[in-house]
């Protein structure tokens, strides 16, 4: 079994290094820039309006859908605010140096407009199932929206994306999260990985069988709590090392364009490696352009597709530009980035170093482990919904239960498999979703522009 897994890992690494990594870099940033200018920096000037929507100002009981704007946002955030914010940032810095954080910021800023675009389209082309629940996502706007332009190839593109979503749900939203939880519990409490795996796989099945409404209920409580807990802890440590903040920002920006020399346990990084790791981990963190969040936002109760797109644009702001930045400053301010420690251990080390300097040694282990559990577990249950919608698209509504059982099984596999194989698999799965989705977004850009103009025209009339 070990020989097979090694061969599989080598094949995946080759794809990621020579095809997938460059393909995502070449597609993601130009597409984001295109929509930034096409929509005239909508993600900046419409930000206050998006916040008012989430606050419930425009909620109506009669609107069709499964969940409110806030619950759609927390469901999608629970899928994006996960190990990417704790483990992903540390891996980006480990392999790409501090400069990788700058490219995570770029991915996050462009991600705001990409989330708006894909979630607007998803809501516009959503469909209702026989039980009254909603299904939506890139596979629907590919099949329906691109039918005139691509003919039968629109359906083929949709099938490729849906298949990749099922695959990614088992990797991105499942094994990577379970792997990080089990490693953190083993590192902090000495719990065997298989015991953690059995526990979280059983807990996952109990929740996901309830569908989107139960998932949304759980995440609407978990997401705010876990974000506040981690935010306060990171701010305390960063505040205690405030004198290092200017230098941390300096080396992030400097190393983004010059690479990083070897230092301590860090072996050094080239500019291209810094870019690739920053974009790769940034995409894993906020999933903008990947096409996952539109599946959750399609279920929102609203009559305007663009309104839900604006709600979605807040995700990369919270996920990457705020939470990932806190983790990066935590790691760089304390000097943990050149410790040579990989994965969650680097973040734990940073938290411990920071808290020990203010007389609170060893507490960091517990904060990071508990925070990681909540971040990662909420991601696991949210991604089960994404995978189930894709499974319905491919195989019909009867496929949901078998998929859920398979999903629970992969939670266990992720808990016991090695770190490298899991994360390599995740990077590969992400590219299979992202590239077809970005192609669809570009082809459907006239629809997005039209929906945007119609929405803001309606808002103008409402105010008048």
What pLDDT was estimated at residue 259? 67
**Predicted confidence (pLDDT) per residue in 337-377, tens digit:** 877 777 777 887 888 888 887 777 777 778 778 877 887 88
> From CA 377, how far away is CA 178, in angstroms rounded?
8
> From CA 80, how far away is CA 114, in angstroms rounded?
14
What pLDDT was estimated at residue 144? 92
Instruction: Please identify which residue in the block is written with the tokens 């996502």.
Output: 137
The DSSP bridge partners found for residue 260 are 269
> Which of the four pLDDT bands, split at 50, 70 and 90, describes residue 464?
very low
Contacts of 266 (CB under 8 A, 6+ apart): 94, 97, 260, 337, 338, 340
Which range scores top for mean pLDDT: 40-44, 216-220, 276-280?
A: 40-44
Q: What is the CATH number of the domain that holds 67?
A: 1.20.1740
What pLDDT was estimated at residue 62? 60
Instruction: Please identify which residue in the block is written with the tokens 């894709």.
Output: 390
- Residues 69-94 have a mean pLDDT of 71
pTM here? 0.82
> Which of the four pLDDT bands, split at 50, 70 and 90, describes residue 113?
very high
> From CA 310, how far away is CA 317, in angstroms rounded?
12
For residue 68 the two structure tokens come to 């409110």
For residue 184 the two structure tokens come to 């953190």
On the CB side of 224, CA atoms within 13 Å amount to: 8
Which structural domain range is residue 168 located in?
2-463
Compute φ and ψ for 127, nearest 5 degrees. -130, 155
On the CB side of 301, CA atoms within 13 Å amount to: 17
Please state, rounded to an integer, the average pLDDT across all residues of the chain: 82
**Predicted confidence (pLDDT) per residue in 328-345, tens digit:** 998 988 888 877 777 777
Compute φ and ψ for 321, nearest 5 degrees. -75, -20
> From CA 315, how far away is CA 294, in angstroms rounded?
12
Split into its structural domains, the chain has a count of: 1
**Predicted confidence (pLDDT) per residue in 117-147, tens digit:** 999 999 899 887 777 777 788 999 999 999 8
**Predicted confidence (pLDDT) per residue in 32-77, tens digit:** 999 999 999 998 999 998 888 877 777 676 666 556 667 667 666 6
What pLDDT was estimated at residue 78? 62
Nearest CA to 376 out of 176, 183, 211 is that of 176
What pLDDT was estimated at residue 440? 93
How far are the Cα atoms of 179, 200, 228 from residue 85, in angstroms, in the given order? 15, 20, 14
What pLDDT was estimated at residue 192? 92
> From CA 423, how far away is CA 29, in angstroms rounded?
22
């Amino acid at each position: 079994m070990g020989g097979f897994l090694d061969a599989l890992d080598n094949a995946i690494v080759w794809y990621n290094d020579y095809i997938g990594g460059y393909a995502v870099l070449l597609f993601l940033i130009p597409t984001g820039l295109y929509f930034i200018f096409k929509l005239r920096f909508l993600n900046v000037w419409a930000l206050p309006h998006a916040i008012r929507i989430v606050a419930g100002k425009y909620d109506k009981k009669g609107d069709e859908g499964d969940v409110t704007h806030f619950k759609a946002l927390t469901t999608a955030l629970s899928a994006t605010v996960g190990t990417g914010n704790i483990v992903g940032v540390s891996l980006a810095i480990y392999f790409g140096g501090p400069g990788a954080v700058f490219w995570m910021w770029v991915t996050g800023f462009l991600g705001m407009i990409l989330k708006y675009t894909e979630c607007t389209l998803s809501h516009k082309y959503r469909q209702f199932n026989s039980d009254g629940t909603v299904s939506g996502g890139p596979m629907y706007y590919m099949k329906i929206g691109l039918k005139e332009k691509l003919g039968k190839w629109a359906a083929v593109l949709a099938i490729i994306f849906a298949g990749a979503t099922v695959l990614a749900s088992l990797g991105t939203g499942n094994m990577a999260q379970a792997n990080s939880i089990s490693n953190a519990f083993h590192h902090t409490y000495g719990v065997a990985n298989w015991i953690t795996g059995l526990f979280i796989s059983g807990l996952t099945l109990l929740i996901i069988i309830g569908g989107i409404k139960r998932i949304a209920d759980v995440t609407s409580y978990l997401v705010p709590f876990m974000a506040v807990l981690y935010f306060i802890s990171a701010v305390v440590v960063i505040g205690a090392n405030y004198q290092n903040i200017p230098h941390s920002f300096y080396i992030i920006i400097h190393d983004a364009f010059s690479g990083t020399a070897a230092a301590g346990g860090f072996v050094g990084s080239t500019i291209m490696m810094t870019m690739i790791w920053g974009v790769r981990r940034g995409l894993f963190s906020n999933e903008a352009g990947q096409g996952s969040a539109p599946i959750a936002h399609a279920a929102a109760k609203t009559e305007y597709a663009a309104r839900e797109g604006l709600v979605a644009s807040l995700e990369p702001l919270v996920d990457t530009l705020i939470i990932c930045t806190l983790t990066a400053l935590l790691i760089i301010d304390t000097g943990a980035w050149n410790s040579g420690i990989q994965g969650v251990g680097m973040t734990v080390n940073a938290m411990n170093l920071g808290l020990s300097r203010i007389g609170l040694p060893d507490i960091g282990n517990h904060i990071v482990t508990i925070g990681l559990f909540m971040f990662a577990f909420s991601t696991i249950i949210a991604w089960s919904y994404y995978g189930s919608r894709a499974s319905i698209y491919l195989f019909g509504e009867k496929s949901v239960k078998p998929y859920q059982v398979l999903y629970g099984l992969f939670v266990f596999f992720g808990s016991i498999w090695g770190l490298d194989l899991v994360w390599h698999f995740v990077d590969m799965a992400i590219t299979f979703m992202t590239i077809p989705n970005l192609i669809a977004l570009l082809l459907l850009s006239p629809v997005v522009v039209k929906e945007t103009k119609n929405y803001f025209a309606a808002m103008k009339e409402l105010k008048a």
